[in-house]
């Protein structure tokens, strides 16, 4: 089959196809949460078993990102992307046709496999589509906008489809989109050969890291469920053993899945650590800010959704063009610092939000700062992470960064939600506070802890990621350096969708309204 020449128009058309697929995967994560009550009523799930509709997807997705990225390098990123897209589309059909619990949970697991495979390599394709720095920077910013838009659209679309057509249609809607996207991807996206399986397939390493990541996701997802902390500690210890064995294997293997030279790169290691901490704080903010609006300010669901709109609006305004211009003029580390400063300021404001807060004074500033900060920080950290990646390992580095974001989101939500719950639980007995004031004090502590995480990310940026400024003044809007962007972490369904440690925090009505 003949492919169109790699002109600017065809490149952006191919990017539009990749973004559509990414948007579909992002929306799917939020859309399912909204439909959980209807699924429970229709298929008779118990409350503990219902969590598997979400967790089955998350376990497969979080466990396979790293391996999927490497397979893209070996087999060809287009081939792996199309395979993941076909798998995601077919499993969406199975989920929509599900008549029993087992069929739906199995379909969701396979959906997670397809989503991981497609997401892990999509930005590796962008690397080859846009070798020119200015266009690549624009593509990164557009990807950030897609991530924000998907997170906002998911809850709304889920509610509309579930109420008007039934929960089956939250899965059926993926089928025509997936079919059209597959046809267009085959026709438009340029093929790449890959370096071949002979370049090294670390089977044992792949097994260890996939099993370790899946078990880690399972541990986090079920941390608040039956069995208590003893089971969580046991599973956590097993996860550590598997990942430690994987690390040892990478040092000794002739062709390791994750070559140690990649982790010796300061941009790769530093960007992954910063991404982990940044996403941990932002996911915690997104979740707990909804609880603050609902439980402290007594907003209804519609008002909560509107209150959170400044986050994606500010993120889109900054990421679509402005971030690329600033990166070109001042360099990625400086812009990353500005973005992290914005996120830190948002969390600092949230840590002092009062019980009788006024939206314009107490909510709007922190929402706007978070969106603007993320719009600056996300493209900068993506570019830094890929700055030393070669075509041989671009997919692997991209998958690594996405994996660190997933882990950050999961652990950040679990840690900050547990911190808020513990603080709220002890305050009435020792401080005589009423319920609302105790809730707010717990949120203050969690937001403050999130600000500390961002402060650590700022220190890491200053120590690991600071590089000399680009030589000479750059033309406005023209980044002077080329760097390879990875898949935007927020675009992947977040592990933060897992059931938090406080059962009351998993209220679908709250999840549906997350900004």
Q: Tell me: the pLDDT tens digits for 179-222? A: 999 999 998 887 777 766 665 667 788 888 888 888 887 777 66
Looking at residue 12, its pLDDT comes to: 86
**Alpha helix ranges (H) inside 292-363:** 301-307, 310-317, 323-330, 332-350
| CB contact at 8 A, 119 and 146 | no
Q: Tell me: the pLDDT tens digits for 227-286? A: 556 777 888 889 899 989 988 988 888 778 777 888 888 888 899 999 999 988 998 888
- The SS3 of residue 167 is coil
Looking at residue 474, its pLDDT comes to: 41
Looking at residue 342, its pLDDT comes to: 96
The helix (H) or strand (E) run that includes residue 504 is: none
Six-digit token string for 82: 């199309």
What DSSP line would sit under 394-433, residue for residue? HHHHHHHHHHHHHHHHHHHHHHHHHHHHHHHHHHHHHH--
* Residue owning tokens 């899946």: 214
Six-digit token string for 118: 């497609």
In angstroms, the CA 395 to CA 159 distance is: 35
Instruction: Going residue by residue through the chain, which has 515 residues, state the pLDDT in tens, using 9 for 90 and above.
Output: 444 444 455 888 888 898 888 888 878 766 777 777 788 888 988 866 787 887 788 888 877 888 888 888 788 888 999 999 999 999 999 999 999 999 999 999 999 999 988 988 877 787 778 777 677 777 777 776 776 666 666 656 666 777 778 888 889 989 999 999 999 999 888 777 776 666 566 778 888 888 888 888 777 766 554 455 677 788 888 989 998 998 898 888 877 877 788 888 888 889 999 999 998 899 888 888 888 888 888 887 678 778 888 888 888 888 877 888 888 888 889 999 999 999 999 999 999 999 888 899 999 999 999 999 998 998 888 888 877 767 677 777 877 887 888 778 778 877 888 888 888 877 655 555 678 888 888 999 999 999 999 999 999 999 988 754 444 444 344 344 444 344 444 333 333 333 333 333 333 333 333 33
Q: Tell me: the pLDDT tens digits for 436-463? A: 888 888 999 999 999 999 999 999 999 9
| CB contact at 8 A, 450 and 343 | no
CA 382, 384, 387: angle at the middle one, nearest 5? 110
Six-digit token string for 385: 């992470």
Looking at residue 462, its pLDDT comes to: 94
């Amino acid at each position: 089959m003949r492919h169109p020449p790699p002109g600017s128009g065809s490149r952006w058309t191919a990017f539009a196809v990749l973004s559509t697929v990414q948007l579909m995967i992002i929306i799917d994560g939020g859309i399912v949460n909204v439909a959980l009550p209807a699924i429970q009523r229709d298929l008779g799930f118990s409350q503990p078993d219902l969590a598997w509709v979400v967790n089955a997807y998350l376990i497969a997705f979080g466990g396979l990102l790293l391996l999927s990225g490497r397979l893209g390098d070996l087999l060809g990123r287009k081939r792996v992307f199309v395979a993941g897209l076909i798998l995601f589309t077919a499993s969406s059909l199975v989920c929509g046709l599900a008549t029993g619990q087992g069929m739906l949970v199995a379909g969701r697991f396979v959906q997670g496999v397809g989503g991981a495979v497609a997401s892990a390599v999509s930005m590796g394709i962008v690397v080859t589509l846009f070798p020119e720095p200015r266009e690549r920077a624009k593509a990164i910013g557009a990807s950030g906008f897609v991530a924000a838009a998907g997170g906002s659209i998911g809850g709304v679309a889920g509610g509309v489809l579930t109420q008007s057509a039934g929960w089956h249609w939250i899965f059926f809607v993926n089928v025509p989109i997936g079919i059209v996207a597959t046809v267009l991807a085959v026709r438009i996206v340029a093929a790449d050969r890959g370096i071949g399986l002979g370049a090294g397939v670390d089977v044992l390493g792949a097994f260890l890291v996939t099993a370790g990541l899946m078990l880690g996701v399972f541990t986090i997802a079920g941390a608040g469920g039956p069995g208590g902390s003893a089971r969580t500690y046991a599973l956590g210890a097993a996860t550590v053993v598997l990942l430690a064995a994987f690390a040892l294997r990478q040092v000794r293997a002739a062709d390791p899945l994750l070559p140690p030279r990649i982790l010796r790169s300061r941009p790769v290691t530093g960007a992954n650590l910063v991404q982990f901490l940044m996403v941990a704080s932002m996911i915690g903010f997104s979740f707990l800010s909804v609880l603050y609006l609902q439980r402290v300010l007594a907003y209804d669901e519609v008002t909560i959704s509107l209150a959170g709109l400044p986050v994606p609006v500010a993120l889109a305004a900054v990421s679509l063009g402005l971030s690329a211009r600033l990166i070109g003029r001042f360099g990625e580390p400086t812009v990353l610092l500005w973005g992290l400063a914005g996120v830190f300021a948002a969390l600092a404001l949230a840590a002092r939000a009062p019980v009788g807060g006024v939206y314009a004074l107490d909510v709007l500033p922190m929402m706007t700062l978070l969106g603007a900060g993320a719009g600056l920080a996300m493209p900068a950290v993506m570019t830094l992470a890929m700055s030393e990646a070669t075509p041989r390992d671009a997919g692997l580095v991209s998958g690594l960064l996405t994996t660190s974001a997933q882990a950050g989101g999961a652990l950040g939500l679990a840690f900050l939600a547990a911190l808020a719950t513990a603080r709220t639980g002890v305050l009435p007995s020792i401080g005589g506070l009423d319920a609302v004031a105790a809730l707010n004090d717990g949120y203050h502590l969690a937001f403050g802890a999130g600000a500390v995480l961002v402060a650590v990310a700022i220190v890491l940026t200053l120590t690991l990621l600071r590089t000399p400024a680009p030589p000479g003044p750059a033309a406005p809007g023209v980044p002077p350096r080329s760097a390879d962007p990875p898949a935007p972490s927020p675009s992947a369904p977040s592990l933060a969708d897992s059931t938090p440690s406080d059962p009351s925090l998993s209220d679908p009505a709250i999840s549906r309204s997350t900004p």
